[in-house]
């Protein structure tokens, strides 16, 4: 407890604590406390999702149900690495729903005791998940470092940092775990990413489209498809007849916010893994704070909003963000697939090289030309009880089997 008290006493200050020989760190629970210039110096590549402005917006919008930690690491007083943590508490009913099927396969006295515990404490917090990374998005946004250190050094430092954060936010007597999320499999170092207390596991891949050179319109892109897939796309577009698509301004988003959030909720509730839910004001606030980067388009039928998509324009990529659509009208108007092709069209019009389509529905996204970027995560139990439950928890997160499709003409 002495160590935890020490950690807690330095949160939100610029006071540095030794991490290892030559390295020290400062810890913050509020993004507003982060020293911006030092943070930017460590975030050398300019990852949008690790910029102070974005982190501050995410925190303010979700501070009622998520806690945050920000770490700034120094090498001989020079900022060299930043790391981002989100802390989520799960009640017994939510956590029980996630792992119930996997629990049925565990035949042990300890597992039965755990099930009994869930049944009697449905509204109580039974799991604290400390995530290094961002649960609202996919991809490598857990930490960043500059050229003053190597990737190997960065990984070694992250092992020490996750240990420190895990100890400082541990919830005594509850199941707890440390999750470090979303690393691209083909970019991992040869040696283990973290120490042997972490378990590595795969999750749904991030689907990414590369826009070929000399493609200046969606029609150019579709022309690269084989006849079978061109005909398929024509049918999808034909279903969109009668749907008006238009970009929504800040005022438009405010006006339609209830409908936008309702459509988002329909998709959220249909998701396999419902970890964190966006705040009601998320779309309006993101547009207010990032008027040029954050785009929202509405799909209207007879004046009624029936679908929307949101995206973030990064330096060379369009990041497909959150979507929503009316499931009852989806088949008639092919709403989901038209939302996907609209992302591609928007990326082309904005001269982006790639489209980050996110995970889920991998097979459908592959029919639009998206390729799978395999993702792995690392998780470490923080106590004895969590060791029992982590295997079914990981099993729940495993990627579903799917068949990759190739819409392009054969070379």
175 shares its domain with 135: yes
In three-state secondary structure terms, 409 is coil
- The tokens for 278 are 């966006």
Cα–Cα separations (whole angstroms), residue 378 to 187, 198, 201, 333, 355: 15, 6, 6, 40, 26
In a shared domain, residues 19 and 124: yes
- For residue 325, being part of any structural domain is answered with yes
Domain presence at residue 119: yes
Q: How many domains are contained in the chain?
A: 2
More confident residue, 363 or 272: 363
Q: Based on the domain organization, do 341 and 314 belong to the same domain? A: yes
Q: Quick check: 107 pLDDT over 60? A: no
Same domain as 268, residue 145: no
What is the b/e burial string over 84-113, where b = at least 16 CB atoms within 10 angstroms of the residue's CB? bbbbbbbebebbbebbeebbeebeeeebee
Range with the poorest average pLDDT among 96-110, 120-134, 144-158: 96-110
> What whole-number percentage of the chain has pLDDT above 90?
61
The answer on 301 and 227 residing in a single domain is yes
Pick the more confident residue, 275 or 188.
275
Residues 153 and 61 reside in one and the same domain = yes
User: Taking every pair of C-alpha atoms in the chain, what is the biggest distance, in angstroms?
Assistant: 68
Q: Which residues contact 369 (CB under 8 A, 6 or more apart)?
A: 209, 221, 225, 344, 407, 408
pLDDT digits (tens, 9 = 90+) for 325-381: 999 999 999 999 999 999 999 999 999 999 999 988 999 999 999 999 998 888 888
Least confident of 86-95, 268-277, 295-304, 352-361: 86-95
Give one DSSP letter per residue of 266-293, joined into a string: HHHHHSS-------TTHHHHHHHH-TTT
pLDDT digits (tens, 9 = 90+) for 62-83: 999 899 999 999 999 999 999 9
- Please state, in angstroms and rounded to a whole number, the distance separating the CA atoms of residues 318 and 40: 22
Flag whether 339 is in a domain: yes
195-237 pLDDT, tens digit per residue, is 677 888 888 999 999 999 999 999 999 999 999 999 999 999 9
- Residue span of the structural domain in which 348 resides: 212-352
In the block, tokens 């019009």 appear at 349
109 and 226 both lie in a single domain: no
- Name which residue leads in pLDDT, 184 or 109: 184
Amino acid 404: pLDDT: 95
User: Are residues 298 and 253 part of one domain?
Assistant: yes
Same domain, 191 and 249: no
Q: Are residues 244 and 153 in the same domain?
A: no
| Per-residue pLDDT tens digits for 232-248 | 999 999 999 999 999 99
pTM above 0.75, yes or no: yes
Residue 411 located in a structural domain: no
Which domain CATH number covers 94? 3.40.630
One domain, residues 19 and 96:
yes
Q: What are phi and psi of 309, to 5 degrees?
A: -135, 155
Confirm if 366 and 406 have CB atoms less than 8 A apart. yes
């Amino acid at each position: 407890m002495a160590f935890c008290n020490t950690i807690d006493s330095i949160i939100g200050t610029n006071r540095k604590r030794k991490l290892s020989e030559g390295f020290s760190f400062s810890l913050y629970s509020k993004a507003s406390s982060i020293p911006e210039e030092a943070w930017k110096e460590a975030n050398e590549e300019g990852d949008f999702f690790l910029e102070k402005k974005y982190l501050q917006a995410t925190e303010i919008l979700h501070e009622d149900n998520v806690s945050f930690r920000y770490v700034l690491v120094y090498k001989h007083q020079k900022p060299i690495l930043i790391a981002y943590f989100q802390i989520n508490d799960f009640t017994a009913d939510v956590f029980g729903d996630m792992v119930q099927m996997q629990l049925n396969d565990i035949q042990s006295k300890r597992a039965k005791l755990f099930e009994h515990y869930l049944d009697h404490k449905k509204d109580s917090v039974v799991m604290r998940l400390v995530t290094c990374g961002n649960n609202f998005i996919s991809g490598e946004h857990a930490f960043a470092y500059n050229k003053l250190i190597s990737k190997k050094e960065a990984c070694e430092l992250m092992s020490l940092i996750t240990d420190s954060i895990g100890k400082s936010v541990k919830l005594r007597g509850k199941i707890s775990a440390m999750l470090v999320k979303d690393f691209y499999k083909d970019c991992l170092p040869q040696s283990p990413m973290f120490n042997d207390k972490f378990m590595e596991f795969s999750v749904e891949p991030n689907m990414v489209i590369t826009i070929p050179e000399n493609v200046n319109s969606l029609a150019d892109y579709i022309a690269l498809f084989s006849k079978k897939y061109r005909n398929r796309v024509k049918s999808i577009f034909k279903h969109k007849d009668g749907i008006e698509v238009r970009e929504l301004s800040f005022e438009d988003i405010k006006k339609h916010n209830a409908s936008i959030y309702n459509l988002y909720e329909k998709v959220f509730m249909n998701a396999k893994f419902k970890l964190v839910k966006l705040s009601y004001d998320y779309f309006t606030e993101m547009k207010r704070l990032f008027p040029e980067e954050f785009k929202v388009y509405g799909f209207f039928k007879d004046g009624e909003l029936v679908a929307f998509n949101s995206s973030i324009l990064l330096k060379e990529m369009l990041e497909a963000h959150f979507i929503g659509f009316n499931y009852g009208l989806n088949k008639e108007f092919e709403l989901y697939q038209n939302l996907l092709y609209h992302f591609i069209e928007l990326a082309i019009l904005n001269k982006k090289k790639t489209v980050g389509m996110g995970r889920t529905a991998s097979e459908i996204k592959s029919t639009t030309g998206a390729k799978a970027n395999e993702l792995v995560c690392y998780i470490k139990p923080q106590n004895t009880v969590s060791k029992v439950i982590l295997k079914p928890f990981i099993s729940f997160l495993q990627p579903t089997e799917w068949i990759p499709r190739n819409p392009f003409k054969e070379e």
